Chain A
């Protein structure tokens, strides 16, 4: 059952104004749910601050709906937009 060991990678995308503590807050929320952070990137694009965080949710203790809810809460507290999406959507759209 090699399939089971395959990580389920999701991408958290933060857009909005850059400020202190974004990564710290996200990292804490992820750790709480036993979600491993694989990679973090950030850039300024078209006047947007964009940060992406790749996470592996294979061993997460909560389901995607709950992860989304906890991220929505952070988004509201910090006045940011946060999207949470399975990595496959990006692969499907941007890779031939």
Chain B
């Protein structure tokens, strides 16, 4: 049966009017075999590999973009967690920083938008190399442009590594002071239950259970979903859920097709499609606006959590029907600065830190891209992180935190991070929280939910 004008028009309209795009094609690259007792031995090998594969990724993405007429907005690389690569090397901060620079230089040369994986899995404990990597984060991320970092600080199986959570509070403050408006902190996210095949930054990395190469796709279409919700003002919630599901099915199929073909063209394994709705700063390309189109007066007001939960569920159902390879985060992102309506809700006072945390319990992927005053004490940042990670640990899901302490700013000040990172009002945070609790350190044991064997 030939495709009809209606079907064609629906697809064309998605890209033309509603910002539908393939948000990212992310190539996961195994670097374990590049490990060496000398730093130059390691960096030379990884540089060559990233350059070769990065260029191929760009070439193939361009060709697929032309073929299907769907923009592929970002081309990214995710590598083996860098802490692992540091294991055979001298335990020094500058070794980790030089590795960071090598990764960044390779990404720049290959013209890759972002390279992720400067991170460590420390949910249960830190090796000496992990500790040096964490200590190197302020320098590494302030002296590079395209490199992103992540830490997995907790998991349902291991509990929460409070030693690392406490340490990271200080790391964040140091990083914030080394970059304008604390923007370096936008390049590092901490997680509970981090997925090893996530194509989205800042948390992307190529997990140790992955093959040599793996091509992962992140689709995105908040604008498309918002449009379909707006077009059904009289649908009851059951019908609305169905409409959202159908729409997400379509955009996921596009992602699956493009991912498969990209992988085939590059002669690498196809990994997963991440169906997360990811907002951009463009007008109407916003998850918060979907919630508002569903009938909540403004994001953050009572009703938001239920609406978000329903949206999330419909997205998952549509995605699961469309692709057998759903993975990564596959949630719904609600970043404050990157989503114009989220940012507006904070400014108007309908969304505060407490409600943001509540929202993340029904969606992914945590408290993302929100600004706090630069003089927020490290133990308060650690406490915010511990709270958010505990939601992930107890509920067997991924949660993350990407918080930006902005030096010299007070609650209510608007900070612009530039470009796709958007702008956000600085949120009110208490100056005293749980200092004693955080300073106890140790590990919050894995919850009873972990005992499933």
| A residues apposed to B, CB below 8 Å | 11, 13, 15, 39, 41-43, 45, 48, 50, 52, 54, 64-65, 68, 81, 83-94
Contact = CB atoms under 8 A, between A and B. Distances in A.
Nearest to A94: B7
Given A85-B68, A93-B11, 11 more contacts: A41-B4, A43-B6, A50-B5, A64-B66, A83-B12, A83-B15, A85-B11, A87-B3, A89-B69, A90-B8, A94-B10
B250 interface: yes
Contacts of A64: 63, 66-67
Nearest to B261: A88
Band of interface residues on B:
20 to 34
Interface stretch (B165-173, B252-260, B335-343, B365-373): B252-260
B16 interface: yes
A88 B257 contact: yes
Q: Which 4 pairs from chain A and chain B are nearest by CB?
A: A85-B69, A90-B3, A92-B257, A93-B250
Describe A's contact surface by its main secondary structure.
strand
A89 B12 contact: no
Contact of B11 (A39, A41, A89): A89
Describe B's contact surface by its main secondary structure.
helix
Contact of A92 (B10, B12, B15, B253): B253
Interface in B1-45: 2-13, 15-16
Nearest to B251: A93
Contacts of A11: 3, 8
A88 B3 CA distance: 10
A89 B68 contact: yes
B72 interface: no
A81 B16 CA distance: 9
Interface in B219-261: 250-251, 253-254, 256-257
A93 B254 contact: yes
Interface string B65-107: 0111110000000000000000000000000000000000000
